[in-house]
Amino acid sequence: MTFPAEAPFWIRAVLAWTVLGCGLRVPVSHAFVLQPRSFNGSPARILGSLLPGAPQARATTEQSLFRRLRRRRPAPPTASDSSDEPQSAIPPRTPATMPATPIVNKMESFPKEVTRLQDKPSGPPTESAAVCVIGGGVSGLTAALTAARAADNSQSVVLLEASETLGGRVQSDVTEDGFVLDRGFAVFIEEYPAAKRLLDYDALQLGKFLPGALVKIRTRTRLAKVADPLRQPEDLLAAIAAPVGSILDKIALLPLIFTARWKSVDALFEERETDTLYALQYRWGLGAGIIERFFRPFLEGIYLAPLDQQSSRMFMFVFKMFSEGAATLPKGGMGAVAHQLVDQAQAAGADVRVNVPVTRIYQNDKGFLVESLDGKTRIQSQSVVVATDGTVAQRIVSQINGFESLDSLPEQPQCQVGCLYYGFTGPAPVEDPILILYGGDDRGSIEAPINNICFPSVVTDGYAPNGSNLCSVTILADAMAYYHEKEDELDAVVRSQLAKFFPEQKENILARWDLKGIYDIENAQPAQLGGPMPANVNGGRDLSTYRGKDLPRGLLVCGDHMATATLNGALESGESAGIAAVKSIA
């Protein structure tokens, strides 16, 4: 069905906007799960088996866990490898993904008892740099990239990453049989302002989700479609008839949609802040049906927390992003975003190193001396950018004279999420590139742990071998906590629930779909409402201060925890830090 061309614009607009789903794009962004952190020591668990040659010290905790996940990884160093520069080489990667080793990272790389900033100690030879970035996640890579571009030829930029891979939470793993597994389901929102400034979208080869979502309702066999009639006019009748909210609810969406669409991002962040549940119920007047069946699984899949623990400003921001642009996936996985940042940083002249966990920073009359855990890397730098997650950043900054008390202060709460991946041959149960939500009243329970489902291989190329498909299943914190170290039970209950979503493929789901991996991500993203440093600051906090205190000149802190709990927040915070670092040494 299409709108009559001769109908006045305001009539066409009202008809369209009254239908649920206008601009509601498939999530998430740096959410509908975020990736486990490989910043200098943030904890995250990836359940899987180690490939031959992986360090046995790291394998101990994992060998009793789920064993089907297989990944390509760089060959272990040999005895002939040079011991002078072992940390400088970045492991080779395939065009589709960056290799990774499943480990339990318990922050061994940054001991709680650290040396305070003090005069330069004696030790191995010291390198010099204008800017040293600690942490190779999205924010750190962006800081290194922008600093290298802003620096002159005499100013060198070095980035040190603790783990063997780059990208932090935005990484992808590849199995031996060619499936690409993002470290937790995530999507790339093309309207993110910082992403548009920094990334080459053509090179990412973004595959777009259809607007809207499919919703599984407990009492119905068929999936209900929440459509966007402005972008897909042929779905107008389906959107009106969808059993997701009443007609009154859909009419009540009008002011919400117009506010998000026409207000600027800055203006949205200036609005009075409440929790999102309160805003949906009392500001926008939405009923329980539409909240429980659509907004709760949709938004909790993005921000990984209950609605009453989400910021109303962050809701309006992501609502605007989804209404103005598409949710997408890069060809070959979300890790392509990190790959591009690495390539750009190196092309700009940044020296990017892995396997260099930083454990000490000393302040002296030349700036700062950065020292690795093994003592083999020492860099005298005029400026240091701490681009780790919030927990590690707090430990690092607590070394500074006058900041010792930070080590005992409460940390910002973190959100947990899980993700299961299934590979299978033949067509996907849903052949449209669209998100699938579970809107049942038992969502997140022991018997029905699924929050949302996606078939990434349907959205874009590179996620599965030819003739195969990949299914991603997102599980929120409470269910993941219950099934901790009960991987077989979790697999069984997820398969059972998937069979109810897609009864025509029940036999295949139960017996033939191959579980490729389970990700249990304890620190998926910082909380955005409550806590000492909620991650809901548009444009980012002042990078030269931390927890209300001025930092020494040249020392900066960046990351999504210093801005918003989104990919956009990580990018814009890193961008600001890189520019500020170079300015601080001018």
Residue 347: pLDDT band (50, 70, 90) is very high
Residue 1: pLDDT band (50, 70, 90) is very low
pLDDT of 120-144, one tens digit each? 455 678 899 999 999 999 999 999 9
User: Counting Cβ atoms within 10 Å, is residue 449 exposed (0-12), middle (13-18) or buried (19+)?
Assistant: buried
> Cα–Cα distance between 436 and 273 in angstroms, integer?
29
Q: Helices 9-17 & 247-262, crossing angle to 10 degrees?
A: 110
More confident residue, 407 or 65: 407
> Cα–Cα distance between 171 and 184 in angstroms, integer?
9
Helix (H) or strand (E) holding 36: none
> Cα–Cα distance between 577 and 150 in angstroms, integer?
11
User: How close are the terminal C-alpha atoms of the chain, in Å?
Assistant: 61
Q: φ and ψ at 198, to 5 degrees? A: -100, -25
133: three-class secondary structure by DSSP: strand
Q: φ and ψ at 333, to 5 degrees? A: 115, 160
Q: Is the pLDDT of residue 389 over 80?
A: yes
pLDDT of 211-221, one tens digit each? 888 999 888 88
The reported pLDDT for the residue numbered 247 is 79
> Cα–Cα distance between 458 and 535 in angstroms, integer?
32
Q: Is the pLDDT of residue 90 over 60?
A: no
The residue length of the chain stands at 586
From residue 98, alpha-carbon distances to 173, 281, 421, 422, 437 in Å are 6, 43, 18, 20, 29
Tokens 């924010």, residue located: 139
> Cα–Cα distance between 463 and 179 in angstroms, integer?
6
What is the mean predicted confidence (pLDDT) over 380-407? 89
> Cα–Cα distance between 225 and 246 in angstroms, integer?
14
What is the mean predicted confidence (pLDDT) over 52-60? 28
Residue 259 has which token pair? 């506010």
The reported pLDDT for the residue numbered 159 is 98
Q: Is the pLDDT of residue 55 over 50?
A: no
Chain-centroid distance, C-alpha 120: 37
Q: Which residues pair with 203 in a beta bridge?
A: none
The reported pLDDT for the residue numbered 111 is 35
> Cα–Cα distance between 519 and 521 in angstroms, integer?
6
Q: Which residues pair with 134 in a beta bridge?
A: 160, 386
More confident residue, 66 or 345: 345
pLDDT of 224-258, one tens digit each? 887 665 555 555 555 556 667 677 887 788 888 88
What pTM does this model have? 0.80
What is the mean predicted confidence (pLDDT) over 6-26? 38
Q: What mean pLDDT is reported for the chain?
A: 79
